[in-house]
Amino acid sequence: MLGPDEAVIRVVLPPSGASIPMVSMRNLLEAQAALRKVALRTPLLPMKEVGLPGDVWLKCENLQRAGAFKLRGAYNRIRALSPAQKAKGVVAHSSGNHAQGVALASKLLGIRATIVTLNKAIPTKVEGTRRFGAEVIFGGEASEDIRLHAVALAEENEWALIPPFNDPLIVAGQGTVGLEILDELPQTRVVVVPIGGGGLCAGVCLAIKETNPDMRVIGVEPEQSCAMSRSIQAGEIVAVPASDTIADGLKPTRVGDVTFDIVRRYVDEIVLVSDEEILEATRHLILREKLVVEPSGAATVAAIRSGKVALSEEGPTVAILSGGNVELSSVLPS
């Protein structure tokens, strides 16, 4: 766990001449068109809390189909498969939200889906995945375990592997969240995004910075699982130990080259929050804002409520609530 002096990590952008990101604004616009009748245009709601020193809005991806933003990237990736690949089926590895996104996208496209998940996956997320018709296989204790299991199944059965974040089409799909923020609240000055493997942050960074470079994008990671910030500090992708953070959707042990390249290029700052701060924000959102949000989705609000994100005096701050698939008994007082 990081000490208090490491709570905020400043990001140094790569020098001019660095490699061009593998995802473009054109990819995001194509994804937006493909998702128009598939993904919900989720609401952007003002935060009800009185007393914050700034104007805060909530981008409610917890209200997305399948309960999280993941449908956007999963559908955008699966729709692009060849007819032969679609006929054989897909496989994915996920702690829960990507699993449900892949399962729903596959159901909508009429494709067989198999999901490899953690042995201790949140029951609500497992049930949701099965409800959309996917087969669920428990494949290990850590994200790398289930990744290797899924890779082996893909090779054995000739299934298309749908990665949770490290894919240009996945990133492009997630970036449509940023496009919606720009369209509905163009005066936004700061966008706060949770970071797991970095797919959502990379897509949102690209949408925001390519449209308005003066907007700030701040990423949020759990103190116990901060693969992106550690990698940016090191200047290369590094693995971190598996963790038991309450934010189960934000604990991959390593990020990908696609997401790392985009995030280090565009993100302005990465903030680390504790499990205690995440739990407090989750309870606040459920009990005070009347929004059912899982801990991973509440990490952005945790960063704001803890004072680790400085709210802009020049315009609104938008916090992305990435998901709402929560086991309520695990976060609410008994």
Q: How far apart are CA 28 and CA 10, in angstroms?
A: 27
Based on the residue annotation, tell me whether 16 is a catalytic residue of this protein.
no
CA-based angle 89:117:110, to the nearest 5?
Answer: 25
Based on the residue annotation, tell me whether 86 is a catalytic residue of this protein.
no
Say how far residue 73 (Cα) sits from the centre of its chain: 10
- Order across the sheet with 113-117: list the strands: 135-138, 113-117, 90-93, 160-161
Which among 293, 43, 313 has a CA at the least distance from the CA of 187? Answer: 313
Fill in the amino acid letter for 10. Answer: R
| Span 236-248, average pLDDT | 90
Domains of the chain: 4-68+167-330 (3.40.50.1100), 70-161 (3.40.50.1100)
Given 225, 229, 231, 322, which residue is catalytic? 322
| Span 299-306, average pLDDT | 96
More confident residue, 329 or 70: 70
- Could you tell me if residue 104 is left (phi over 0), alpha (psi between -120 and 50 degrees) or otherwise beta? alpha
Query: What's the alpha-carbon Rg for the chain, to the nearest Å?
Result: 18
- Please enumerate in sequence order all residues whose Cβ is within 8 A of that of 136, keeping only pairs 6 or more positions apart, or say none: 99, 115, 117, 126, 129, 130
Given 70, 125, 209, 308, which residue is catalytic? 70
Which among 321, 227, 240 has a CA at the least distance from the CA of 278? Answer: 321
Residue 56 clears pLDDT 50, i.e. is over it: yes
Q: Is the pTM of this model over 0.85?
A: yes
Confidence of residue 332 (pLDDT cuts 50, 70, 90): confident
HSE-CB at 278 with a 13 A cutoff on CA atoms is 29
Q: Which residue has the tokens 């000739």?
A: 158
- Asked whether 209 and 266 are in contact (CB, 8 A), the reply is yes
Confidence of residue 103 (pLDDT cuts 50, 70, 90): very high
- To 10 degrees, the CA torsion angle through 307, 190, 296, 175? -170
Fill in the amino acid letter for 286. Answer: I
